[in-house]
Amino acid sequence: MKVKENLMKYIFLLCACISILAVVIICLFIFVNGVPAIGEVGIVKFIFGTHWKPSSNEFGIFPMIVASIYVTAGAIIIGVPIGLLTAIYLAMYCPVKVYKIVKPLINLLASVPSVVYGFFCLVVVVPVIQNLTHTSGKGILTTSILLGIMILPTIISTAESSIRAVPSMYYEGALALGATKERSIMKTVVPAAKSGIMSGVILSVGRAIGETMAVVMVAGNQAIMPNSITSGVRTLTSNIVMEMGYATGMHRDALIGTAVVLFVFILLINICFSLVVRKKEK
């Protein structure tokens, strides 16, 4: 019995080590390959340069950084209100029968492959935006809508579970004081669930900034500074995926440098996430 237990302990440890090893190797790979490239271009020129022309050795990724931030912000603006209100409905208003249909559908939304989202958006959303705005239809707006839909499941499930975790006495107390149902929810339950909702938002920022395949199809991918909400943009991730297959030499290193910047972004997001979670535990 003892032997078996010990054996299992080491197997668990081994499994844990594999994932840690993976993270460490990925970090090493990205930084060892990417940082020298950034150094060669010059860190200021690399991050704040506005021209990306690999064929003439110009590697400035500022347009991509701006693009990534814009589309992520757009996704949050579109996705968070819809997701939060859906979560409130699911947790507080929804009859069991409807819940049994809606909840699995939302889970299904989470498991749709991102390429499918991208193609759907390319064929359905792009023409609509094209007709409404008389532009090419690909750009910040379309990408934001796409990402807004893609982050819905994350927001809905985290917000719903944190609303459900609020002790029912908060809600009942508010009702007892004479507040309406809607008011009790918005003024007591939702504020009490705030940190859980925040962590959901941060998780979805991570998802939106890292999304690649779907974004490549609808963002337009011009490596220029966007000047309107409908202008085409290229995000950090799409820059990497579009050119990695062909790139050689300095071009390739600059793409890994782009990955370094993306990685730093993701790290910052994760740090924010753990700060919020820690605050919640206190």
Partner 1 sequence: MKKLICTLLAGSILAATFAGCGTDNNSSSPTNTKKATITGQIYPITRESGSGTRSAFSELFEVVDNDGNDAITETAESTSSTSVMMTTVAGNDYSIGYVSLGSLSDDVKAVKIDGTKCTVDNVKSGTYKISRPFNICYIDGKLSKTADDFRSYILSTEGQSIIEEEGYIPMENTKAYKSSGVSGKITLAGSTSVAPVMDKLKDAYEKVNSGVTIEIQESGSSAGIQSATEGAVDIGMSSRELSDDEAKALKSEQIALDGIAVIVNKNNSIDNLTSESVKSIYLGETTDWSEIEQ
Using alpha carbons, list the distances in angstroms from residue 17 to 24, 28, 274.
10, 16, 21
Provide, rounded to whole angstroms, the least separation between the CB of residue 67 and partner 1: 13
- Please select the residue that binds partner 1; options are 33, 130, 133, 195, rule is CB under 8 A: 130
By CB under 8 A, is residue 217 in contact with partner 1? yes
Q: Which is nearer to partner 1, 19 or 56 (CB)?
A: 56
- Chain residues 143-182 in contact with partner 1, contact rule CB under 8 A: none
- Side-chain-side CA neighbours of 223 within 13 Å: the count stands at 18
By CB under 8 A, is residue 111 in contact with partner 1? no
- Please select the residue that binds partner 1; options are 98, 264, 267, 275, rule is CB under 8 A: 98
By CB under 8 A, is residue 137 in contact with partner 1? yes
By CB under 8 A, is residue 103 in contact with partner 1? no
- Please select the residue that binds partner 1; options are 66, 82, 122, 229, rule is CB under 8 A: 122
Sequence-distant (6+) residues with CB within 8 A of 253 are: 33, 34, 36, 37, 40
By CB under 8 A, is residue 232 in contact with partner 1? yes
Q: Which is nearer to partner 1, 154 or 231 (CB)?
A: 231
Provide, rounded to whole angstroms, the least separation between the CB of residue 252 and partner 1: 10
- Please select the residue that binds partner 1; options are 73, 106, 109, 242, rule is CB under 8 A: 242
By CB under 8 A, is residue 33 in contact with partner 1? no
- Please select the residue that binds partner 1; options are 49, 210, 243, 277, rule is CB under 8 A: 243
Distance CA 114, CA 61 (A): 24
Provide, rounded to whole angstroms, the least separation between the CB of residue 229 and partner 1: 16
Q: Which is nearer to partner 1, 199 or 237 (CB)?
A: 237
Provide, rounded to whole angstroms, the least separation between the CB of residue 66 and partner 1: 14
Sequence-distant (6+) residues with CB within 8 A of 34 are: 253, 256, 257, 258, 259, 260
Provide, rounded to whole angstroms, the least separation between the CB of residue 50 and partner 1: 10
By CB under 8 A, is residue 123 in contact with partner 1? yes
Binding-site ranges for partner 1 (CB under 8 A): 51-56, 95, 98, 122-123, 126-128, 130-131, 136-138, 216-217, 220-224, 232, 234, 241-243, 245-248, 251
